[in-house]
A and B are shown apart, each in its own frame.
Chain A
Amino acid sequence: MVKIYEDYKDHADFLTVYVREAHPTDEWQMKSNVKEDVCYAQPKTLEQRIAIANDFVKRFKYPTQFGIDDMSNAANDAYAAWPERVYIIEQGRIAYRGGMGPFNYHPEEARAWLAAHYGEVKHEAPASAPDKSGAGTKSN
């Protein structure tokens, strides 16, 4: 999503809404979370959720506007967002509704919507040696 933001920030606004944790330690923790040292319990207070959101932004230097959902999960419920989802709003109406994550979470569809409206942004492949790094953050 960061790459999509970088490519289209001159044409669209981006807002990340932080919702309830998907794989906290006290619920359904994944092995990948342990491996990547992303181990947090499900926040019981808003302060805890704020702290985790800030950790995320700091670790990934996340560039978009950021909003944190209340503990009532109002935004999450209104958009059926959990665990992850993308929407595009245009003139106050839903212009693109992404699928429910994780299996139907496809940020490239949002990119395709933006490309259809503002043109495709192409990136030239680097002319250097093959990239040997396999790991990476979520940066579609």
Chain B
Amino acid sequence: MRGRELLKWVGVGVGLLIVAVVIGLSVMAGGLGGAYGMVRYALPHMHRGTLRVGDVAPDASLLALDGSSRFHIRERTGARPLVIVFGSYT
């Protein structure tokens, strides 16, 4: 009986936790649809990353706006600091 009672309360606890998470995500994302979008599309791409201050800055090849010429991030680093802003239009 105690085992069943415990199981019941664990189930209730997990259920409440799930509800709280869904509510929290919905508030953050502006609704249930947003919460789904966040979990389905955003979370898999969000990474804290491992870079730290002091680490060697990674290099990468980038395409210029003209769509044909390329350059490397390291080519833009020089005597002056380089502020890199990552983002997209949407």
Give chain A's interface residues, CB within 8 Å of chain B. Answer: 1, 4-5, 8, 11-24, 27-31, 33, 38-40, 46-47, 50, 52-57, 64-70, 74-76, 78-97, 100-101, 107, 110, 114, 117
Contacts and interface: CB of A to CB of B under 8 A. Distances in A.
Contacts of A30: 30, 34
Main SS of the interface on chain A?
A: mixed
Contacts of A107: 85
A17 B59 CA distance: 12
Interface of B: 29-30, 34, 37-38, 40-42, 45-65, 67, 71, 73-74, 76-78, 80-90
Contacts, number: 201
A76 B84 CA distance: 12
16 contacts: A8-B83, A13-B76, A13-B77, A17-B85, A17-B86, A19-B88, A30-B30, A30-B34, A65-B76, A70-B61, A83-B46, A85-B85, A86-B85, A88-B82, A93-B55, A94-B51
A78 B56 CA distance: 11
Contact of B84 (A17, A23, A80, A114): A17
